[in-house]
Structure 1
Amino acid sequence: MTRTEERLRDAFQGAAETIRPGSLTPLTVPSRGRARARARRSWGVPVVVAGALGLILVGTSLLGGRMSPRPAAGPRILAGAPDHVLAIRDGRALVEDGAGHAIARISGEHYEAVAGTGDGRVFFLATASGKNTHTFYRVTLAANGTPSSPEMVRTDDPVQMDSGLGKPERFAANRDGSKLALVGANGGRSEITLIDVRTGGQHSMEEVGRALPATSATWAPDNRTLGYIAEGKDGRPPALYLLDTNTDRLTPRLLRSATMPDDALINVFVVDPDGTTLTAQVQGAKHGPRDDADYRLVRLSATTGRPTGWTARLPSDSFFVKPDTTGRHFLQIIDGRLGRVDDGRFSWVSRATDYTDAAW
């Protein structure tokens, strides 16, 4: 059985999963899995062209440290993990517990993406209001997971951004919920848009000399520093950048070059809550007759870029990492299925395969 056939088998099995009795009353939750078109990376072209702008790490020795066993099966809820997850499933926004059981449904349809502040209470939802144009809503959860009615985030102008995927795949909210950031492209050039949630003001920065979309928006704990991955100027290799959003003139600072003497790539990264480390999804070099690759979630030093602490083995790539405020728990979506990494160990949350986004 090929890897593709194995994934199709798992998808059909996930679609047949039943939801815990009584958890949906009096709410309605989609129970039918849907086929999800998924852009695949071509090994025949540079990874950045397929939207996987990468930060290349030093050697496989950098992937050392404590490695978790093979991915565990079944949901787990660990002490200190957030109680609730806000998930997007087939266009609907649902509040779920840490094991994937539905608690409540948020009014509205056709949601595309969600970003959380990390406190488990304040979330922002994105919908499409036109081609590459997005509208955002703020939702607050009570202690028991009951959601408030979505409140539209008023903006001075329509918010436009092309992520290359038809939706704001990587938009991020800072820790105090005062700013949103979208990264992608506009008019064929890399662009970053900042939104002041309180005033509706917008500030867009076109990155001249960078034709490929910026990716991997992540806020540092200071509420003002935005991290992202972008192509180097004038076609140079990708690099990790930091941007101070509290200055009048937005000038990104190069944190480090993306070019390293190794074939490992970072697909996406987040700045951890303490600000001293990063957590990155790393794609190793392809191997074997089917061009398989190893995927790991790796904790890195924000200063040196070298691994520090745990390394978690993942079943496949997802271009998706969502942290909580402790830096111990991370959500993953892999082929439409929700998983999590807790203290360096991966486990599946649900067998359903209709997840498109999630945050806690």
Structure 2
Amino acid sequence: MVNPINFNGFIAGWLLLLGALIGIYRALYYYKRVPEPGKSLAKRTLISLLFFGLGSVSAIIDSLTPRPLWFLMVIFYTLSYAAILSTIFLSLRAVATSIEKPEGVKERSTAQKTPERNETREKELPLHGGYSLRKEPSAQLFHILKEVSSGLIVVSRKSREEWVEKFGVQPDEFLWLSRADVENSIDPSKLHVIQGKILQFMEQRGPVVVYFDGLEYLTLYNDFPAVAKFLFAVKDMVMIKNSLMLIHLPEGIFDKKQEIILLREFEEINEEELIKKLSQALSPERAEEIALFGVLPPATKSGDAKDASDKSPEEGGRATKEEAQEAEPLRREEKAKE
């Protein structure tokens, strides 16, 4: 029978154990499903919760027996706090590293910084060639793509504002597939112009990542053989430049025969496998930082910081709204033509 004097301790111990078991279940869930370096974070959390659970078991046993077991509770709870605090401090260090800037370093203009970037940011990508993704990539993948490459160019049916709002990543170059006469838009029927801009970007940057979505939109203005030849030509350029090309190829946008043609050139790869391969080019600290804060911008870019400082929040919001209002009638007119 439960000692009435320790009944409160008995209830408290079971509640703490229940919380620990729920946490262990969630930690195991993420440990089995997330790629590295997320597994190491889940592992640290799991260790902390196991110690916490052992401390809770000690509290339950202590409430049921006259023999004091307070020293076991002290040991296990202390180890649990130490494990979780080490993870928290590691996370804080990653955040501090990402936002700190050396004092005395002045912002440079984009035109001045481009040559230096070519010299310092050219990196050997751990993966080359062309691949297809069936599911739309996550923001974490785009953060890693920017980190391991010398630049990210996106060709999309979405406008730049829509794309950045969805993924929280600023591409180095963006081509909006649209006939609207606005900045960064490009006529989808002019495949040779798109190819030329991609080649120019690779010539300037070195090993880059080329990401395509909205392929079905290209086939509205070009027949499929022309689109396929265009994609194959871009892939050949990408391979010569030791770069990486990713296309978003959802199931059902092309017929089976057309899908087979594209998949022969663009091997299907899932995001988890892609992240695992790309993370090999990251330092352990940086990989862990992106795993923790992949949905946030990894660091404040000088160009973005300068633009933000030049405009007040009200001016920035007003400019964005005005651009959206100007682009909206053009998009409606384009949809009406289609």
| TM-score when normalising by structure 2 | 0.24
Say which one has the larger Rg. 2
- Of Structure 1 and Structure 2, the greater strand share is in 1
| TM-score when normalising by structure 1 | 0.23
